[in-house]
Amino acid sequence: MNKRLAVVTGGIGGLGTAICRHLAHDGRRVVAVDLDDRPERLARFTADTAGLDVRFAPCDVADYDACADLIDRLGRELGPVEILVNAAGITRDATLRKMERTQWTQVLRVNLESVFNLCRHVVGGMVERGFGRIVNISSVNGQTGQFGQTNYAAAKAGMHGFTMALAREVARKGVTVNSVSPGYIDTEMTRALREDLRAQIIASIPVGRMGRPDDIARTVRFLCGDDADYITGANIPVNGGLFMSF
Ligand code: CAA
C-alpha cells in the first residue's frame, strides 16, 4: 500500500511542526502548508524535520482559490490527500470595544475559513476512496471564551461546529472528522503573551505548567490512525486540566 499523504496547515508553526514529525514517524508522507514570509520559521522547520518524509508547500490557507490549486497540484504530483490536519491559527487579541474590523476578519479567515477552504477540496476524494481523516485544531478558549478573544473564541468554537456537521455527512464513507482542543501550549503564540498574564494562566492550570507541542501531536497522530475509525465528531481536550467537562 502507498504511504498515505497527509497535509498539515500551519505546518511550520510550533504545533504544526510537531504534528508533521509525529505523522511522518507513523509512516505518512507529510506536506506542511504555510506562508513562506518568514525565513527563520522555515529554517527551524527544515532543521526539525530533517531526514523525515516531510516537505513544505507554500500557500495562504485563507485564500479559497489558492487552496484549490494546492490540492490539485498535490494530487498530480504526490497523489490524493487522505489525511488533513487544520492547524493554521493566529491571534489578534483585543477587547471587543477596541477590536478593529481587520482583527476580526483576519482571525476568522485564517482560523475558520481555512478549514472550509481545505476540507471543501479534499472531502470529495476521501468519500470516493472510502477513507479519510480530518483533524481540526480548535482551542480551550473556544470552549470557555477568553477575555480579549471574541474573534478567536468565535472561530475556534465554529471549528468544532463544522467538525460535528461534516462528521455526520461523511460518517458512512470511512471518513472521520474530529477536533483537538489544546490548552495553553508552549509555542510562539503563547510566548507573545504579556509576562504577568502568562504567569496568571500557568497558575490556573491544574497540571501546573503549559503543555508541549508533542502533547497535541500525539493526540492528532492517534486520531489519524487507520484503526481510529470509530471516533468521529469528537473533541479531544489536551489542556492540563484547565477546563474539565464531559
Ligand atoms: N478577566 C477579567 N478582567 C480582566 C481580565 C480577565 N481575564 N484580563 C484583564 N482584565 C481587566 C484588567 O484588570 C483591566 O481592568 P481595569 O481597566 O479595571 O484596570 C481591563 O480588563 C483591561 O485589561 P488589560 O490591561 O489587559 O487591557 P489591554 O487592552 O491592555 O489588553 C488584551 C487586552 C490584549 C486582551 C490583554 O488582556 C491580553 O493579552 N489578554 C490575554 C488574552 C489571552 O489569554 N490570549 C490567549 C492567547 S494564546 C492562545 O489563544 C492559544 C490558545 O488557544 C489557548
| Cα Dmax for the chain | 55
Say if ligand 1 is within 6 A of residue 91 CB. Answer: yes
The string of pLDDT tens digits covering residues 20-29 is 999 999 999 9
Residue carrying C-alpha cell 503543555: 211
Per the structure, the count of domains in the chain is: 1
Residue 241 has which C-alpha cell? 486540566
Report if residue 53 sits inside a domain.
yes
Report if residue 242 sits inside a domain.
no
Say if ligand 1 is within 6 A of residue 9 CB. Answer: no
Cα Rg, the chain, nearest whole Å:
17
Say if ligand 1 is within 6 A of residue 111 CB. Answer: no
Report if residue 18 sits inside a domain.
yes
The string of pLDDT tens digits covering residues 126-171 is 999 999 999 999 999 999 999 999 999 999 999 999 999 999 999 9
Question: What CATH number should be reported for the domain holding residue 194?
Answer: 3.40.50.720
Residues serving a catalytic function are 152
Residue 197 has which C-alpha cell? 498574564
Q: Which domain holds residue 13?
A: 5-231
Phi, psi dihedral angles at 225 (to 5 degrees): -65, 145
Distance 152 CA to ligand 1 centre (A): 13
8 Å CB contact between 83 and 23: yes
